[in-house]
Structure 1
Amino acid sequence: MAEAVVSFVVERLGDFIIQEGEFLYGVNDQVELAKTELQLMQGFLKDADARQGDDETVRIWVAKIRDAAYDLEDVVETYVLKVVSKREGGFKSILKRFGRMFKEGVDLHKIGSEIQNITTNISTLRSRLEAYNIRQIRDSGGVASVYERQQRLRRTYSHIVEHDVVGLEHSVKELAMHLVRSGDSHRVVSIWGMGGLGKTTLAKQVYHDNEVRQHFDCFAWVCISQRCQVRDVWEEILVKVSAMHRTEISQMNNGEIAKKLHLAQRESRCLVVLDDIWSVETWESLKAAFSLCEKTKSRILLTTRNEEVALHSDRNGFLFQPRPLNDHESWQLLEKIAIFGRDEIDSTTFTRMKDLGKKMLQQCAGLPLAITVLAGLLARKETVDEWDTVQTNVDVYIRRGKGSEQEYRGALWVLALSYDDLPYHLKPCFLYLGHFPEDFEIPVKRLTQLWIAEGFIYASQERITMEDVAYGYLNELVERCVLQISEQGSVRKIKSCHLHDLMRDLCLEKAKQENFLQNVNFSHQNMTSISSSMVANAAATVKVRRLAIYLDENADELVPLRNHKDSHLRSLLYFYPGYYWILRNEKLVELLFKKFKLLRVLKLEGWRTPVELPNEIGNMVHLRFLSLSYSRITRFPSSLGKLICLQTLDLKHCDTDVIPDVIWKMTELRHLYLPLYWTAKPKLRLSTLHNLQTLDHVSSLCSDLNDLSELRNLRKLGIRVTSSLEKLEETLKSISNTVDGIRSLFLHNLLGNDSGTEVTQILSGCRKIYKLDLNGRTVELPNYLHDYPNLTKITLCRCDLNDNQMTVLERLPNLKTLCIMEDTFEYQNTKTLVFSKGGFARLECFSLICAHEIVNLQVEQGAMPSLCRLYIKRCWGLKTIPDGLRYVTTLKKLTVEMPISFVSRLQVGGEDYYKIQHVPSVILTSY
């Protein structure tokens, strides 16, 4: 991680030198020299980072290097803050000019001395690392010994087959079928997933499956590991699939070995298992011996944590991702290992152990590795009291294990290999996930905005935005199985994500080791949270840079702000389980804005106590991200305009009367979310925001819509329709170039007239949209929507559509997601929605939410042939599910939240159960 920290600081210093050189007048040379020292240090840090887990001296040095880089960044940014705060325009500044020149001279001397001291410190550390021969660690045995020990502990052998397995029968059968099937479509079969998911165990079951053993002539199992020696792997396989001896093979060069191995797979049916491949580069180095172009009946079965490896090895191959064990399977596995074979256990003891075991299994989240670690420990515990003792610290036992080599026996050690394998630019992105509470579904757009604000993301090409780079990083974390997908959108783009419980434990542990962040849980203390006093005490020795605070009903304390003295805080995120909380002492908000002037990120949302933001908010000039959404703010000061570095400003659903016309000064803004209902006097000027990509809840009441003509990078637009048609037509002509680039459009019609013409008028210019959200009277959907090639998602609410509008929707050629909410159709008459044969050809997700006017659904055979997900929630008029749903065989998930009379009909044995019995996942909730 120190490598990542230093790299980011070097980038930021470069930005300061280039973009803010006027504020560094007098110390520019010192900053350049410090930057050069850090760049020289980067050459040592990759090996030093790897070595620190095995060498306490190096660990201390790495920590000092990281802290020195942070100190340098703090000193430079603090100085810039002072200079910016002193420089005022206008006549009054002349009166103070000479006094300030003297003060700035003092600051220049002080800042120069501080930077020089830090630079000397960095230079000294580099000299010590060089003297310690850090550069040669990779070859000298220090780091090698770590890898050798890891490889020795993780090496797999085909003859050692786990007998305590559950839930794999169907998976084994499916994989065996793809290996032995005729034809050459699947040369490579891949098992991929996060560490501990049981990939190797599954591969062994397939390797020894009777059908597989009868089909193939020869077999080879090789454990690859993170450090692959290509020749050793080839030799190992060739010995097993040919009649050649090792001595004969040892005399051949690499090209000859690869050719022999290639021929052996052509002449015989060979099954080669490559267990634990970590990178595409490893596969590229091995593949010369495994030609994918020629016809052969030999097969390769590989396991990997990286989806990219599985995809890259064979584009026509079969990919299989094991699922976590369910509750029943988890107990079966624990019972097999921990209880079976104990004759002395009576029924009462068994019942008590089962109750305790199921409670402990909640910490495992279905991960076979974690269950095995826990079961292995419980197998050595004879009494219920001993099991109860384990339960008290079950999370520690699962994470750490217990035994002579404790750090290598727990689940986290295996998962930590995935973290160690991350490239430096992904490690801070992963650690940042530790801010979010357990089981929190993380919105991807918000996460990428936070990464960008923290400085983790750099766009190296002009046409690639930082948002695109950030989303690429997110995809890579998913592909490497350290992050999981929660929800995908209509074009398969990830909308939300989450961490597996054990992966979150790893994230928090690594974040603590790297002094990356600290979490405070105000409701209770646990292994991953610390109290207010602990934070205050830690501040004396450790500079806390990122802080996540979980609030509860006692949120008026805003811990640990009263005692917290660390002015180096860069990121402060508050989380509350609901939308709103009561702030009993509004002065604490004022204290927050006064104390933390170096903040880059502030997320403080949802307070309902009326608060007037203090003028001191203007001193937080380093803010890149500010979210005050869902809060009650009586006044925003004009000093808000000093936040010229802001990239994201979220005032969504703020209850406020006054926002001063200063947002135009924030020229770096990329995402602006305005309050839903408010009127600006004077109107906000927006024409200077050339970097703006998202503009939400704008209207002619709060700004001049003609300003949108200057926003050429705008991609998401939320507009409240408040203008009559005559004024709107003129405005639309002036902003035609802007609306043509819109990809996501939200239209909220507030006019309440009978035509809805204004909505269709705006919509006519947005021909490239992917997503359309209509709220308010529309009456009719325009037929030209059929010619919008990218339109894949539509949400409708209070539109008062006519009866025939379903025929317009069902003919949209690329529509994949449709959400119908309250009063989408005219409410005067109850409605029957008809899904006709051949309609909605590509629809994958349909949601019906609070659509009380709908009393009946009819699904004709052949309708919605691609539907995968169906959501029906709180539609009071609907009495039953459509009979035609039984024809929709593609349906994978049905979620219903309806009255008990509706839900009971769908339960097993209910009169409507036959309509949905083919659906694999059914979630029923009654009220």
Structure 2
Amino acid sequence: MAEIILSSIAEGILGMLGSLGAEEIRLLWGVNDELEQLEDTLSTIKAVLRDAEKKQSHSHQVKVWLQRLQEVVLDADDLVDDLSYEALRKSLMSGHNNMVKQVCTFFSSSNQIIFRHKMGHKIKDVRSKLTAFGNEKIQLNLEERQGETNVATRLRDHTHSYVSEKEVIGRDDDKIAILQLLLDTKNKENVSIIPIVGIGGSGKTTFAQLVFNDEQVQKHFDLKFWVCVSDNFDVKSLVKKIIKSANVEPNTEKEMEQLQQILRQKINGKRYLLVLDDVWNENYIKWNSLKSSLLNGGAGSKVIVTTRSKVVARITGTMPAYDLKAMDKEKSWALFKKIALEQGRESNISSNISEIGKRIVDKCGGNPLAIKTIAGLLSLKNPETEWSSFMEKEFSKILQTEDDIISEDDIIPTLKLSYDHLPSRLKQCFVYFSLFPKDYEIDVEILVQHWMAQDFIKISNPTDCLEEVGYGYFKELIWRSFFEEVETDEKGNVTKCKMHDLMHDLAESITPPMFYMRNGNTEPINSKTRHVLFYEYDFYLAQEILPSLIQAKKMRTILRPDVDTLRPWYTIIGAASAYDAIALNLKLLRMLDLQYSGIGKVPKSIGKLKHLRYLDLSYNGFKVLPDCITRLHNLQTLKLSWCQFS
């Protein structure tokens, strides 16, 4: 189920190539023709990447093509980053006199003759591989797409307005709160719009159905409409759906003006309730166009909008969004028992079975869809003999695999709709979080610095601040309910957050194999691994990992969590030799986290990591940085907290 997102990377490479052209560095190195051809080839492939990314879930051939292409595109990214580094180094030398600069250039590793030969060969090799991929796009029937196409890869089933009140558990308090808003007669607005926001599977549709069918609501409103919006927010189509919901069959040939007149006549002076279920549209102009057709109703008319996006809530709501929270433990357990146990057995189970069941329910995080899915599976198993085994062996995998026992209507496909609607720049930011363990509290400032180091953040104006744009990315993900448990400072800025377990399962399920988190992971690090987080440390682990680590020549990220209680494993095996091995072998590193590593002295070999953007040396015992640090021209973040710590 892993997804490959390359369009943003290709866009970044083309941006760097354009920058190199502006500095006329191509002519100096004598690689102008090669770079122009590389740029043309990559542009041709980039034109079909968005279509390929959209089709990969349905086409095995496209999926394999993207997997193979990924390695070459990342190689091209590293290559162009090499060129950008040399361009930056050259510009920094501009302050020297001409003779000194010529001598330094000749005797450096960037001797123009050697550099041109080496880079020319690499550029031709990468371009040749990309050309081969470009030739395959016709066979795969890939089309050119301009801009983002936030279309879900799996359309949601159309919802309807009815649910039996007996089937809904745990939403009594929420129902009372919404009914107070719906039945309020003091509000004299013609139409009030109430957004209901929650993550996928939180029960927004079921909750809206419960309210829609309430007896008080039936009596209070003259008209009621239910429309499932989902992906296609076409105003004309939605107006037709609303009219049809009122048992009026609209003429499909009528123009928008005529349809609007029919709708306005239908609701004229009447107090109505409209539910717009599963809204994704974040375009204010489209929303305003629909809203203008709804303003002719009687005073007290209400529109409920269900959505996963707080952006949608802000655009549509005339009232504060109602956040549909996770269910508490007691209500979650009640829902689980109702489904998982035979009728009449809910209150007659042993304390042991009850304890196992509650542990399973806790792992569902109060998400009704997860509870119903897992409870449905367990209803077919014997509680006394199979629940415990399921808990220990199967549950941790059930949300991460495409196992036959999970149907198309279950958890991950439902949550994945949220991911499918993200622009590509945010998809890679979300997937990156799979490196961290579940329930990990992330510092937002550090997370943005990580995104910067990976070149995930794109700026359209050179004067833009990367950190500010990155924080904007984070807020977009917050608005779309990808993060939770936020902490804010006195100014209201989010400083820390966590990811819901189910969202983390989603991230892991779509993460490509290049990501590696060592936390009970028995899979080996290999030549294609590019991002690693170590979450366990001991002497034997260090001995096991280091040899395979230094063979992963294309590694970009080495992280360890901010946990000072862990044993500094580099100290055990010898810090100097370990660091030299890393710096001499992993020359493409962009992030290196060595906090709490027992360093007494920073080795000079660190200066060879010219791609490095992020270096954390906090909580170590050295007192002086070596001069080689000044050669890290790409370095964006250097952390030196408590550097006399030992």
TM-score (norm 2): 0.88
Matches within 5 A, 1:251-650: 251-281=253-283, 284=287, 287-288=290-291, 290-292=293-295, 296-314=299-317, 316-342=318-344, 347=348, 349-391=349-391, 392-400=393-401, 403=404, 406=406, 408-461=408-461, 464-512=464-512, 515-521=513-519, 525=520, 529-531=521-523, 534-535=524-525, 538-539=526-527, 543-554=528-539, 557=542, 560-564=545-549, 565-575=551-561, 577-578=563-564, 581-582=567-568, 583-584=571-572, 585-586=574-575, 587-607=577-597, 609-633=598-622, 635-650=624-639
Query: How far has the Cα of 1:324 moved from its partner?
Result: 0.8
Matches within 5 A, 1:110-129: 110-129=118-137
Deviates more, 1:204-213 or 1:254-263: 254-263
**In 2, Cα distance between equivalents of 1:559 and 1:410:** 39
1:16-57 CA-to-partner distances (Å, cap 9, x unmatched) read: 444693797122332232123222322211111010111011
Are 1:613 and 1:637, in contact at CA under 8 Å, matched by a contact in 2? Answer: yes
Are 1:402 and 1:410, in contact at CA under 8 Å, matched by a contact in 2? Answer: no
Shift in alpha-carbon separation, 1:19–1:600, aligned structure 2, 3 A: farther
Q: Tell me the SS of whatever aligns to 1:220.
A: strand
Name which of 239, 249, 258 aligns with 1:234: 239
Q: Tell me the SS of whatever aligns to 1:275.
A: strand
Tell me which residue corresponds to 1:879.
none
**In 2, Cα distance between equivalents of 1:510 and 1:407:** 18
Name which of 37, 40, 45 aligns with 2:41: 37
- RMSD (CA atoms): 3.3
1:408-459 CA-to-partner distances (Å, cap 9, x unmatched) read: 2431111111111100111111122222222111111111122122212233
AA aligned opposite 1:626: L
**In 2, Cα distance between equivalents of 1:104 and 1:136:** 38
AA aligned opposite 1:563: S
1:510-544 CA-to-partner distances (Å, cap 9, x unmatched) read: 222xx4522122xxx2xxx344xx11xx32xxx22
Are 2:202 and 2:369, in contact at CA under 8 Å, matched by a contact in 1? Answer: yes
1:608-656 CA-to-partner distances (Å, cap 9, x unmatched) read: x352221111111221111111111254322121112211111111118
Shift in alpha-carbon separation, 1:652–1:292, aligned structure 2, 3 A: farther
Shift in alpha-carbon separation, 1:28–1:396, aligned structure 2, 3 A: same
Matches within 5 A, 1:189-208: 189-208=194-213
**In 2, Cα distance between equivalents of 1:423 and 1:126:** 24
Are 1:187 and 1:292, in contact at CA under 8 Å, matched by a contact in 2? Answer: no
Query: How far has the Cα of 1:485 moved from its partner?
Result: 4.4
Shift in alpha-carbon separation, 1:57–1:395, aligned structure 2, 3 A: same
**In 1, Cα distance between equivalents of 2:162 and 2:296:** 31
**In 2, Cα distance between equivalents of 1:443 and 1:101:** 38
* Higher strand residue share: 1
Query: How far has the Cα of 1:472 moved from its partner?
Result: 0.9
**In 2, Cα distance between equivalents of 1:655 and 1:23:** 47
Shift in alpha-carbon separation, 1:8–1:385, aligned structure 2, 3 A: farther
TM-score (norm 1): 0.62
Are 2:619 and 2:645, in contact at CA under 8 Å, matched by a contact in 1? Answer: no
Shift in alpha-carbon separation, 1:656–1:197, aligned structure 2, 3 A: closer
1:380-419 CA-to-partner distances (Å, cap 9, x unmatched) read: 2234212223222113234557656x46243111111111
- Identity over the aligned pairs, expressed in percent? 26
Shift in alpha-carbon separation, 1:231–1:606, aligned structure 2, 3 A: same
Query: How far has the Cα of 1:576 moved from its partner?
Result: 5.1
Shift in alpha-carbon separation, 1:339–1:67, aligned structure 2, 3 A: same
Query: How far has the Cα of 1:372 moved from its partner?
Result: 0.9
Tell me which residue corresponds to 2:66.
62
Tell me which residue corresponds to 1:28.
32
Are 2:556 and 2:589, in contact at CA under 8 Å, matched by a contact in 1? Answer: yes
Matches within 5 A, 1:729-744: none
Name which of 620, 634, 641 aligns with 1:652: 641
Deviates more, 1:92-101 or 1:122-131: 92-101
Are 2:269 and 2:297, in contact at CA under 8 Å, matched by a contact in 1? Answer: no
Tell me which residue corresponds to 2:50.
46
**In 2, Cα distance between equivalents of 1:110 and 1:407:** 53
Shift in alpha-carbon separation, 1:21–1:570, aligned structure 2, 3 A: farther
**In 1, Cα distance between equivalents of 2:182 and 2:324:** 17
Q: Point out which structure has higher relative CO (alpha carbons under 8 A, 6+ apart).
A: 2
Is 1:170–2:173 an aligned residue pair?
yes
Tell me which residue corresponds to 1:710.
none
Higher-Rg structure is 1
Query: How far has the Cα of 1:113 moved from its partner?
Result: 2.8
AA aligned opposite 2:42: L
Name which of 155, 159, 163 aligns with 2:162: 159
Are 2:584 and 2:605, in contact at CA under 8 Å, matched by a contact in 1? Answer: yes
Q: Tell me the SS of whatever aligns to 1:362.
A: helix
Query: How far has the Cα of 1:595 moved from its partner?
Result: 2.4
AA aligned opposite 1:598: L
Shift in alpha-carbon separation, 1:350–1:640, aligned structure 2, 3 A: same
Are 2:86 and 2:110, in contact at CA under 8 Å, matched by a contact in 1? Answer: no
Q: Tell me the SS of whatever aligns to 1:352.
A: helix
**In 2, Cα distance between equivalents of 1:566 and 1:26:** 31
Structure 2: tracts of 5 or more residues without a match: none
Shift in alpha-carbon separation, 1:580–1:54, aligned structure 2, 3 A: closer
Query: How far has the Cα of 1:250 moved from its partner?
Result: 2.8
AA aligned opposite 2:122: E
**In 2, Cα distance between equivalents of 1:486 and 1:93:** 51
**In 2, Cα distance between equivalents of 1:269 and 1:574:** 59
Query: How far has the Cα of 1:100 moved from its partner?
Result: 7.2
1:198-217 CA-to-partner distances (Å, cap 9, x unmatched) read: 11111111111121111012
1:753-776 CA-to-partner distances (Å, cap 9, x unmatched) read: xxxxxxxxxxxxxxxxxxxxxxxx
Query: How far has the Cα of 1:162 moved from its partner?
Result: 6.5
Are 1:373 and 1:398, in contact at CA under 8 Å, matched by a contact in 2? Answer: no
**In 1, Cα distance between equivalents of 2:490 and 2:109:** 59
Q: Tell me the SS of whatever aligns to 2:167.
A: coil
AA aligned opposite 1:69: V
Shift in alpha-carbon separation, 1:358–1:401, aligned structure 2, 3 A: farther
Matches within 5 A, 1:883-894: none
**In 2, Cα distance between equivalents of 1:530 and 1:289:** 58
Are 2:264 and 2:293, in contact at CA under 8 Å, matched by a contact in 1? Answer: yes
Query: How far has the Cα of 1:297 moved from its partner?
Result: 2.9
**In 2, Cα distance between equivalents of 1:102 and 1:81:** 11
Matches within 5 A, 1:10-29: 10-18=14-22, 21=25, 25-29=29-33
1:320-372 CA-to-partner distances (Å, cap 9, x unmatched) read: 011111221211110011114155x894x543332221121232111111111
Are 1:618 and 1:640, in contact at CA under 8 Å, matched by a contact in 2? Answer: yes
Tell me which residue corresponds to 1:219.
224
